[in-house]
Amino acid sequence: AAASGPDVVARIVAEPLGRLWGQQVVILNHPGAGGSVAARQAASAAADGYTLYMPATSAFIVMPEMFPNLPFHLDRDFVRIGFVAEQPMVIAVAPSLGVNSLQDLIALAKARPGQILYAANARGTLPHLTAERFRKEAGIELRFVPYAGAAAGLQDLVGGRISMIVESLGPFLGAIQGGSLKALAVASAQRLPKFPDLPTVGETIPRFIATGWFPLLAPAGTPDWIVRKVGEDLRTVLDQPAVRQKLAQLATFARPMSGAETTEFIRREQELWRPVVKQIGVTQ
């Protein structure tokens, strides 16, 4: 949807791509039905290079489980052009909870099983999946409170109604810097350069990585030369310091990949998250 993570990231990349191509790149949002509306529109578009598709993580992780009988298949009906960027999830708490590290949070949750309420986006979103995976791997009990977005959850956290929240880092930057929210750990592979004192979740729970990500696809049948050209131009744009800086301001990090690398990355992510999706029982 407009002003959502995918929309903002797409606009940051579309502008320099348009300059490179000498024509405007128009962003069209088709929200609804867990991402299947947008996917259906893109899958049915002409395979001529004029329609590209940039889905969010949930399209590959949750949508196939939520809507198993869709008339299209992301592997069959789309070709991977490349990878745009990723957004690491962060685990944060209210300062009033009195914990200063992820280890402290785990210890408190074990002492008070089921008493810590956490906010995340609606059931089956990546923040929810991340929190449930963390809960299981840490061996603790937490209570999930769904919210329509990060802002609503943050408001209730500041108001003292909940104690913990999981979301991508971007929406929390102001609250963290202002002291109304305490970030305990980020679920990236390494510590973030702008937050060198913020530990990774993996420092406490080995190999725990959770990021939202945005690949670029085209309808199946798009000529190979177009796919290669767009992929090369995407990499050129993502290597531009100005683009990287704009993305980094949203705690979003460019990660150029080839189409083959993108395909392999998505496959690994699907294997990682499929058991979590089945565990929480995401259905329509």
Do 79 and 122 sit in the same domain of this protein?
no
Q: Is the Cβ–Cβ distance between 145 and 117 less than 8 Å?
A: yes
Number of neighbouring beta carbons within 10 Å of residue 3:
8
- CATH number reported for the structural domain that contains residue 50 in this entry: 3.40.190.150
Residues of the chain with pLDDT under 70: 1-4, 31-35, 71, 282-284
Residues 192 and 215 in one domain: no
34: number of CA atoms within 13 Å, CB side?
20
- Residue 175: CATH number of its domain: 3.40.190.10
Instruction: Domain of residue 230: give its range.
Output: 5-86+211-280
For every residue of 33-84, DSSP letters joined together read GGGHHHHHHHHTS-SSSS--B---HHHHHTHHHH-TT-S--HHHHEEEEEEE
Question: Within this chain, do residues 118 and 181 fall inside the same structural domain, yes or no?
Answer: yes
Containing H/E element for 111?
helix 102-111
- CB-based burial, 108-118: b 16+ in 10 Å, e otherwise: bbeeeeeebbb
- Domain co-membership, 31 together with 13: yes
| b (16+ CB within 10 A) / e for 131-164 | bbbbbeebebebeebebeebeebbebbbeeebbb
Same domain, 50 and 153: no
* pLDDT score, position 156: 92
Same-domain check for residues 45 and 101: no
172 and 231 belong to one structural domain: no
Among 110, 47, 117, smallest CA distance to 78 is for 47
pTM for the full model?
0.91
Single residue among 159, 174, 203 that ends a domain in this structure: 203
pLDDT given at position 3: 44
**79-96 residues labelled b (16+ CB within 10 A) or e (exposed):** bbbbbbbbbbbbbbbbee
Same domain, 187 and 238: no
CB count, 10 Å around CB of 268?
9
Check whether residue 146 and residue 242 sit in a common domain: no
Residue pair 151/181 in contact (Cβ under 8 Å)? The answer is no
Q: Which of 188, 229, 193, 224 is nearest to 209 (CA)?
A: 188
Of 176, 203, 230, which residue sits at a domain end?
A: 203
- Tens digit of pLDDT for each residue in 216-261? 999 999 999 999 999 999 999 999 999 999 999 989 999 999 999 9
Instruction: State which of 203, 232, 255 marks the end of a domain.
Output: 203
Residue 92 and residue 169: Cα distance in Å, rounded?
A: 9
Q: Are residues 77 and 129 in the same domain?
A: no
Give the count of domains, the chain. 2
> Is 275 found in the same domain as 226?
yes
- Name residues whose C-beta falls within 8 Å of residue 98's C-beta, 6 or more positions apart in sequence: 108
* Residue 196 sits in the same domain as residue 96: yes
